[in-house]
Amino acid sequence: HTYGSLIRSYGFLNDLDGVWATWREMMAQRIAPNCITLGCMVEAVTNNGEPEAGLQLIRQMLAHEETCSLVNAVIYCSVLK
């Protein structure tokens, strides 16, 4: 949950560069997202004025068998608010 906490913190500070850098670092380290980190990521980008980026991230996760189960109603609602 460390990456999720970092992503959430950067989002709270309105630092989208930090949000995306943390996400990319997590992926580069081959750390698979879980529903918590995905939720933090979608919420961070959406709350900082990029709901389309949040929706695109959801679609990317849905496109892959190993990550499609991470998407839930709570994550979708982050984009709708």
Residue 1 has a pLDDT of 74
% residues pLDDT > 90 (the chain):
93
Q: What is the DSSP letter of 66?
A: T
d(CA 57, CA 75): 10
Q: In angstroms, what CA-CA distances link 16 with 31, 62, 67, 72?
A: 20, 23, 23, 23
Name the residue among 49, 51, 25 with its Cα closest to residue 37. Answer: 25
State mean pLDDT over 36-49. 96
pLDDT at residue 80 greater than cutoff 90: no
d(CA 31, CA 81): 28
How does residue 71 score in pLDDT terms, banded at 50, 70 and 90?
very high
- Its pTM stands at 0.92
Residue 27 has a pLDDT of 94
Q: What is the mean pLDDT of the chain?
A: 94
